[in-house]
Amino acid sequence: MIRHLLSGADLDPATATLILDTAAEMATVAGREVKKLPALRGRTVVNLFYEDSTRTRISFEAAAKRLSADVINFTVKGSSVSKGESLKDTALTLQAMGADAVVIRHPAAGAPHRLANWVDGSVINAGDGTHEHPTQALLDAYTMRARLGRIDGLHVAIVGDVLHSRVARSNMLLLTTLGAKVTLVGPPTLIPIQADHALAPGIEVSYDLDAVLPESDVVMMLRVQRERMAASYFPSAREYTRRYGMDGPRMARLPEHAIVMHPGPINRGMEIMPAVADSPRSTIVEQVTNGVSVRMAVLYLLLGGK
């Protein structure tokens, strides 16, 4: 088993499949009255969040607690980070407290990789800048497998602000590893320039959402990340929605079995309309539920569970 989970590229097919299978077993715990396993009793998991988060932080906390680990939630506000303490010194403090796993979200790409050199425990990347978010890719893969029965051979369209999306990058890596075909769809300004060549084999690019929909098994909508945009990447929100927003008529162009995903938080009315987000084809809420099982599996396996 790998010691850290920093990137979608850390997951080979066997490791990814083991995590997804373990997550399916963990999901049975969620259906019980007492949602707890003793697997990580006496182990310490630190949640180190330098960036805002609702779903991911709560999900890791719930996952660690369901495995009976001791959980320390470290938020930057109110900590010595606001006094200027460096990531390295914070890491050494966590190390001194005997953290078995550190879950880190940080605005700088590569921060989790640096942290992994400074602590003895496992490091899990919960999002580093615009770079990667591997547990989100795993929970997305889990959701596809649960809804559609497989990942191999699926055609997945990843739509919208690919440029700023760590979710898209980790998904591209994991989904192609598991045999899916990926098409990135969005305005040219929001698709990374090297996407059609160097990124990974099995990845295509299209600027025409309506053309891609009829051949998609999965449409993964991405949030337009205005907080990461220093310049303007499209003429107006209305224009963006007209070309790349997922609405009822577009949903009707999908094959009957196709699903619509979104990692959340959603911009209702911008990249996804309420008629789609709240429809039975939408997996938005399931993705959140599955996230806990997947993170339980990751914590359990990284910390040496059998």
Helix count and strand count (H, E) for the chain: 11, 9
Question: CB-based burial of residue 6 (10 Å sphere; 0-12 exposed, 13-18 middle, 19+ buried)?
Answer: buried
Binders of ligand NCD among 214-253, rule CB under 6 A?
A: 223, 225
CA distance 218 to 246: 13
Task: Report helix angle 134-148 to 166-177, nearest 10.
Answer: 50
For residue 38, what are the CA distances in angstroms to 19, 27, 42, 46, 64? 19, 15, 9, 18, 11
Cβ–Cβ under 8 Å, residues 67 and 296: yes
Q: Does the footprint of ligand NCD cover residue 169 (CB under 6 A)?
A: no
Nearest distance from C-beta of residue 227 to ligand NCD, angstroms:
9
Nearest distance from C-beta of residue 105 to ligand NCD, angstroms:
8
Q: Does the footprint of ligand NCD cover residue 166 (CB under 6 A)?
A: yes
CA distance 248 to 238: 16
Question: What does the per-residue mask of binding to ligand NCD show for 27-56, with x meaning CB under 6 A?
Answer: ----------------------------xx
Q: Does the footprint of ligand NCD cover residue 136 (CB under 6 A)?
A: yes
Q: Does the footprint of ligand NCD cover residue 133 (CB under 6 A)?
A: yes
Nearest distance from C-beta of residue 140 to ligand NCD, angstroms:
10
Q: Which amino acid is at 145?
A: R
Q: Does the footprint of ligand NCD cover residue 171 (CB under 6 A)?
A: no
**Contact pick of 112, 187, 245, 263 for ligand NCD (by CB under 6 A):** 263
Q: Does the footprint of ligand NCD cover residue 63 (CB under 6 A)?
A: no
One-character DSSP codes across 54-79: SHHHHHHHHHHHHTT-EEEEEESTTS
Q: Does the footprint of ligand NCD cover residue 129 (CB under 6 A)?
A: no
**Which residues contact ligand NCD by CB under 6 A?**
55-56, 127, 133, 136, 166-167, 223, 225, 263-264
